[in-house]
Structure 1
């Protein structure tokens, strides 16, 4: 029986979901036990992550041109264009942390926090774009959960208002069409015979690991 796009994405989400307790910082934020400084570090590091990921997604869109559904996934409001909106919302979080443009520009990124976008750039250069769709979709499910938890925590324990938390709200509630775009992209990859679930899972496993490194890196000065 032929594999469907829905099967591929569901299996990846299940196989690549991080183990409970793997992320140490998000539960500490949820309990109000993490220092406020990690929120500032998040805003500073995400500025670099978002700008790098946007370039990677656009490069993947260009490489995926022969498969329009795959190219559309990477250039959509959910990814490349979504990063523009995310960056704008991030500015409100940075301001709420007392960070101005000069502070953002002066910040020196932490290696652990930038491993994720570095690997995303690696995928943009060499991975089959359809495989990257599967890997990223699985990772975004975990990221959305983290953002939902942190958004609630910042309001409850750290005194941040809705505007400051808008960045987390944006990712906690992905665009309604995001899953359909991912299904269409994976379906195109399957139909063209270019999608490798083995490689997609490899990429997804590494993305999830680098995601956890990002959160751990925020807690290390």
Structure 2
């Protein structure tokens, strides 16, 4: 069954791969054209995203494990269907967000973000639609469907981060420390991929994966991802 799970993940990722033209900002950063103001806004927006996503992944891990903390939010039919593999996947995601948040501080500093700016910053609605939807998934989607949707989106996000890291080094003179946030997400994670495959395999075997819903969730995530970048690009 593992090959079927791996094929489903790969096929869904390919099916939901965004048109490169939908993201207007990443090419500007990669080419050194984006302003310092945009880089600072990127750091400030990501500070909100990382915190929200981490809490969403913690909640998904609790739901997947069938914990008492999340029980009040879970439909009766889901309560008896705990999944250690799904819980492990979301726990890894939450731990990754914690580490990414630590790396983000160096990028923010290199972009000239001050403590006063951080405290006063009001995030853009278009930039925060993505984490808001991830939080919606944490409350409403089955953990198995969320894994498939999120994994498909991570591929595009990782590609964007790789291009940004290269552009920051080449055109803006950012150090490795300042680029670590983007390097972290750009690097392949075989361990995380293995966890996703194991969780999807388990969900397939137990009949708890709705691929149609998962793809719909993934499509929305890709749209909100594009909205994040394009809203950010409107920074004047």
For residues 108-123 of structure 1, the aligned pairs below 5 Å read 108-123=122-137
Point out the more displaced range, 100-109 or 137-146: 100-109
Distance 1:16 1:28 in 2: 23
Distance 2:22 2:210 in 1: 27
TM-score scaled to structure 1, two decimals?
Answer: 0.96
What is the aligned partner in structure 2 of residue 137 from structure 1? Answer: 151
Structure 1 pair 8/100, CA: closer, same or farther in 2 (3 Å)?
A: same
TM-score scaled to structure 2, two decimals?
Answer: 0.90
Residue 104 (str. 1) matches residue 126 (str. 2): no
Question: Deviation string for 1:24-71 (max 9, x for gaps)?
Answer: 111111221222211111100000000000000011111111011011
For residues 148-159 of structure 1, the aligned pairs below 5 Å read 148-159=162-173
Residue 128 of structure 1, CA deviation: 0.7
Q: After the TM superposition, which segments of 4 or more aligned residues of structure 1 sit over 4 Å from their partners?
A: none
Distance 2:233 2:14 in 1: 28
What is the aligned partner in structure 1 of residue 43 from structure 2? Answer: 43
SS of residue paired to 2:22: coil
Unaligned runs of 5+ in 2: 66-81
For residues 8-157 of structure 1, the aligned pairs below 5 Å read 8-65=8-65, 66-76=82-92, 79-157=93-171
Distance 2:221 2:202 in 1: 23
Residue 3 of structure 1, CA deviation: 8.1
Residue 82 of structure 1, CA deviation: 0.5
8 Å Cα contact 1:74/1:80 also seen in 2: yes
Query: Which one has the bigger helix percentage?
Result: 2
SS of residue paired to 1:17: coil
8 Å Cα contact 2:2/2:197 also seen in 1: no
8 Å Cα contact 1:50/1:87 also seen in 2: yes
What is the aligned partner in structure 2 of residue 162 from structure 1? Answer: 176
Residue 135 of structure 1, CA deviation: 0.5
Point out the more displaced range, 174-183 or 43-52: 174-183
